[in-house]
A and B are shown apart, each in its own frame.
Chain A
Amino acid sequence: MSSELERRLDDLLLEAPEPETDVGERALARALRALELPVVRPRRRLRVVAALVAAALALLALAAGSLAAAGALHVSFGQVREHAGPRTLILPGGTAGIAAVVNGRLSVVTRSGFRLQGLPVSAAALSPHALYVAAGIGTSLVALKPDGRRAWSHPAGGTVVTIAWAPDGLRIAYVVRTARRLVLRTIWGNGTHDAAIDRSVRAVRPSWRADSLAFAYVAAGGRAVVYDVGHRSRSVVPNSPAGVSEVAFAPAGKRLALLDGRTIVVGKTRSRARIRLVGIGWVGGELAFVSRGGQAEPVRIPGPIVSFVASGSTFAAVVGGEEPRVVAGTTGNVATVLALPRGARVEAVAVR
């Protein structure tokens, strides 16, 4: 029977349908764009990135002091000057786009060519592969398609202050400022099944675990909480400080980093920096953070992001305006803005 069955299986699966022609053409175009990554001719591009990283590490040595945590990486980027003019878009594998809220206006650039600039938003986040951007517009949560049209819109009941799209794209966690409080909600990636998770939280961007089964947020009391979407249960993170200002799950695995002033907590490891920290993020398996003394003070950028370059764990966004500038950050689900030239204020940046 098995031999006959195997013959039937051969015949059966060979009759699988053919892919649509236009799907193949789109996939080819997408694949060829990926080929343009600096994987075979990386040296010049890498030198740019290496310079950024070197600058960061130099400033780190001056400013960051010490963190005792093994594997923790002190990173802070200083002012980075770039010559004016747009640059070629070079993205690392897996990075499909960048979205930034600059002065309350959204700038999105994706590898597929989607460019959206100037839309007034209260918050924004890219979906995996940068296929959509979710944004708070007015009192709604809106998903925009790559062509700039609305995929869906959902009344949020208030101003959306922060958004986090799960790595698998199936859910979005977002925080809404209502008349009385900040409410954490989740919604499916197609704009349905909206649900309140916690009706009293802080305005801190949730961070999804790599497996998309849970996310961390900060409750009203200031402690970090992990919400399990499968079991619909929540638990306060052990060892959580009482004034967590940022949560960041590692891009792989289940390590969760918490930031509270000068204190960083990763699992049972608690480290205290000599200086106040304003942001954390993961660079691969290592934790990166930015200090207030490391030029991380929010400043103002006069124009929209016009293009960006990226390689490895670092990206640099070229910002337009009177004087094009570079903003450097880390890749990952949450990209903390690290280098902020004078006068710039970038409210949120996400890289997908």
Chain B
Amino acid sequence: MRDPSDRELVREARRGDREAAAALFRRHWRDAWRAAYAVTGRRALADDVAADAFERAFAALGRFDERRPFRPWLQRIVANRALDLLRAERRLSYEEPLEPADARPDHRGGDRSLLASVADLSLERRVVVVLRYGVGMTPKEIAATLDLPVGTVNSRLARALEELRESLEVEHVE
């Protein structure tokens, strides 16, 4: 028996089927959390952002257009919530944050120098890198998610990759 599609789960959830809603949650929770983590770099913030995003998504499910895919819509909420949170926190940068950022993101394994370089990107560039590579969205989907022109997304991606490349080259020389 095949798994129900997102569209079918959304439809059932809108009718009040909690099992369908829970299935939808479990299908997308991990990706949503990882996207939140990749943007924020902190577990606690990722917990809040992802939970908040699902809450908002489910609360707005009645207004969701079933013909559209659920995942990009959810990731859009995740990205925007993470951005809102970080922007709000960045405004207080002249003071210490309420919660210190992880010294190094909690990646197990992986390339820590590249990870650190990603974390050093500006928020605008980091988020497009995360959505492109972490979430696997196309530039067009990212553009829709962030309400940006596709050209802007491509430009930010290109500059982010260039910055990462230069950063890694410097590290390599050192």
Contacts and interface: CB of A to CB of B under 8 A. Distances in A.
Co-assembled chains A and B = yes
B57 A40 contact: no
A30 B47 CA distance: 12
Nearest to B161: A2
20 contacts: A2-B161, A11-B110, A13-B34, A15-B107, A16-B34, A16-B37, A19-B46, A19-B50, A23-B33, A24-B33, A28-B29, A28-B54, A30-B54, A32-B18, A33-B55, A34-B59, A94-B56, A170-B88, A188-B98, A193-B95
B140 interface: no
Interface string A1-14: 11001101111111
A116 B3 CA distance: 43
A62 interface: no
B47 A23 contact: yes
Contact of B14 (A16, A40, A213, A230): A40
A185 to B, nearest CB: 16
Interface string A25-43: 0111011111101011110
Interface string B7-34: 0000001111010011001100110011
Contact of A129 (B26, B52, B107, B161): B52
A281 interface: no
Contact of A18 (B15, B30, B88, B98): B30
Considering residues A13, A41, A213, which has the most beta carbons from chain B within 10 angstroms of its beta carbon? A13
B134 interface: yes
Contacts of A32: 18, 21-22, 25, 58
Interface of B: 13-16, 18, 21-22, 25-26, 29-30, 33-34, 37-38, 43, 46-47, 50-52, 54-63, 84-85, 88-89, 91-92, 95, 98, 105-111, 114-115, 118, 129-130, 133-134, 161, 164-165, 168
A93 interface: yes
B143 to A, nearest CB: 18
A32 B21 CA distance: 7
B59 A93 contact: yes
Interface of A: 1-2, 5-6, 8-20, 23-24, 26-28, 30-35, 37, 39-42, 92-94, 129, 168, 170, 188-190, 193, 212-213, 230
A11 B118 CA distance: 13
A42 B37 contact: no
Interface majority SS on B: helix, strand, loop or mixed? helix
Contacts of B54: 27-28, 30-31, 34
A230 B58 CA distance: 34
A301 B69 CA distance: 48
A138 B149 CA distance: 54
Nearest to A2: B161
In the complex, the 8 A-B pairs of residues with the closest C-beta atoms, listed nearest first: A39-B62, A93-B59, A27-B51, A13-B134, A168-B88, A19-B33, A15-B110, A34-B59
Given A28-B25, A188-B98, A170 B92 contact: yes
Nearest to A129: B52
Contacts of B43: 17, 20
Nearest to B132: A9
| Residue with the highest number of chain B CB atoms closer than 10 Å, among A1, A16, A18 | A16
B134 A5 contact: no
A19 B47 contact: yes
A173 to B, nearest CB: 15
Contacts of B38: 13, 16
Contact of A34 (B30, B56, B92): B56
Nearest to B59: A93
A188 B91 CA distance: 13
B51 A30 contact: yes
B88 A31 contact: no
B110 A31 contact: no
Contacts of B110: 11-12, 15
Nearest to A39: B62
B133 A170 contact: no
A311 to B, nearest CB: 12
Given A6-B161, A13-B133, A31-B25, A40 B16 contact: yes
Contact of A40 (B56, B61, B88): B61
Contact of A28 (B22, B108, B164, B168): B22
